[in-house]
Structure 1
Amino acid sequence: MNNKRKNFLISNSILIAFIVIMVLVANYYLVSTFGFNQETFIAITLVLIILAVVLNFFLSKPLYEPLFRSDENLQKTIKETLHELNIPASTIQANSQMLEKNIKDEKNKKRLNRIKLATNELLNLYNQMEYEIKKEIDKIDKQEFLLDEIIENSIDKFEDIKGDVSIQNSIENIVINSDKNGFQKVIDNLLSNAIKYNIENGVVKIDFSNNTLTIFNTGKKIDTKNLFIVFEQYFQEDPKNSGFGLGLNIVKEFCDKNLIEIKIEPNENGTLIKLNLLKLIS
């Protein structure tokens, strides 16, 4: 536990203890003055509640304000730093593209390509950090995008690692209004799991009907007893698999926040995941 959190907990505990003592003193005074019976109970209780709220409001303000100010300053610093990082990375990327036209030597082309890959990775990290900051302060802008575009982007990402798994996508032009970055992460995680837990020469089927996106993968079906805990953080049905068990937890968090009903249904030939996108369809 860092000092900032420790000091806050100590200060907050002292504040609560002080308010409780003040309320108890007020209670003793009111009961001594008016007596304690059925008629005075409600009046005394209301007075004590109001006293506790007023004390908490005025006494907690100087306690919380420095904390909020510190967080605001930290967010501002991170945003400014990210902005400054984006400028040189974008400059490197632009100049690399210009140099690529004039370089003929194969060795130099390979070196330049490594620079481009590293720059793209840096820009991806920048975009991810920017997104995570916006998500923490609830400033994610919703936008319209095509569901098939998100699905195709995800399929392309896993093209080199899907092996002999066949991915069948029948999604057409469905317009979604949501957090595009977050939605992309949901599809990436679900498709990653569908590939990871598949069988040799297995299949992943992606369909859409009745406002519901379905992702089915062949293979061992999920154990029914695990359906209640599958979305918990760090859960892994098979500990031998790589990863940290965070994927479905991230998916569930996004779905809950964006009013997406998600269901996992064990199937005789594998596992079926359903996402009800009714609330997101434009």
Structure 2
Amino acid sequence: MFREVTLAIILFYVITVMLFVSGFYYVHTVLGVTNILPVFLMIFLLSIVIATMIATLSIEPLKDHFEKLEHLSKEILHELNLPISTINANTAMLRKGLSDVKSLKRLERIEGACTLLYERYGELDYLIKKQMQQETIEAVELQAFIASRLR
């Protein structure tokens, strides 16, 4: 994600500088100024360096924020799982000692609420893990892959 944003910022900055340089080129052709190519190359290289610095400076705080958010999400998931497990264990122990219909009904409501809470926990866990997944780039032998598919 951050790589795409960084590339977009660099591309935007380079295009802007290229428009600026093309304006200089127009002035060069209209005014007839000579030997301006070294200046254009220096401006282009400088623009790439500045664009990289701007992209890095703008993305770094966002990256730190997401890392902190990821850590907080993992901690919250752990803190949610512990009470759910405790409630399940205690309701199982209480069920063994209860014979009163009214108390069993209350216990069923507690178990139902705990089941719903556990389902929400599972959904949240899935969403967080899905968002944290990173893309894996693998080298593929194209000829071997095609040959294995054609067999």
What TM-score, normalized by structure 1, do the two folds share?
A: 0.36
Counterpart amino acid of residue 35 in structure 2: F
Match of 1:81, SS?
helix
**Cα drift, residue 57 of structure 1:** 1.2
Structure 1 residue 28 and structure 2 residue 28: aligned? no
Alignment of 1:148-167 (within 5 A): none
Q: Which runs of structure 2 are paired with 1:201-220 in the superposition (5 Å)?
A: none
Q: Secondary structure at the match of 2:97?
A: coil
More helix by share: 2
| Percent of matched pairs sharing the same residue | 36
| Residue 110 of structure 1 pairs with residue 105 of structure 2 | yes
Q: Is the 8 A contact 1:100 1:109 kept in 2?
A: yes
In structure 2, C-alpha distance between the alignment counterparts of 1:89 and 1:63, rounded to whole Å: 41
How many residues get paired?
118
Could you tell me how far 1:88 is from its partner in structure 2? 0.8
Q: Give the corresponding residue for 1:65.
A: 60
User: What is the DSSP-based 3-state SS (H/G/I as helix, E as strand, rest coil) of the residue aligned with 1:104?
Assistant: coil
Contact 1:19-1:56 within 8 A present in 2 as well: no
Residues 113-132 of structure 1 correspond to what in structure 2 (within 5 A)?
113-132=108-127
Structure 2 runs not aligned, ≥5 long = 1-8, 135-151
1: distance between equivalents of 2:128 and 2:69?
A: 11
CA drift at 1:35: 5.8
CA distance in 1, matches of 2:70, 2:52: 26
Aligned to 1:135: 130
- Report if the CA contact (8 A) 2:84-2:114 is conserved: yes
- Cα gap change, 1:23/1:59 in structure 2, threshold over 3 Å: closer, same or farther? farther
Counterpart CA distance in 1 for 2:15 and 2:50 is 7
Checking the alignment, whether the CA contact within 8 Å between 1:89 and 1:119 is kept in structure 2 is: yes
The equivalent residue for 1:89 is 84
Counterpart contact for 2:14–2:51, Cα < 8 Å: no
- Assess, with a 3 A threshold, how the Cα gap between structure 1 residues 105 and 115 changes in structure 2: closer, same or farther: same
Q: Which has the higher contact order (CA 8 A, sep 6+)?
A: 2
Pairing 1:48-63 to 2, within 5 Å after superposition: 48=44, 51-63=46-58
- Alpha-carbon offset, residue 17 of structure 1: 6.1
Measured in 1, the distance between the counterparts of 2:53 and 2:128 equals: 31
Determine helix, strand or coil for the equivalent of 2:99: coil
Higher strand share: 1
CA spacing shift, 1:131–1:92, aligned 2, 3 Å: same
Normalising by the residue count of structure 2, what TM-score does the alignment of the two structures yield?
A: 0.63
Unaligned residue ranges in structure 1 (runs of 5+): 1-11, 140-282
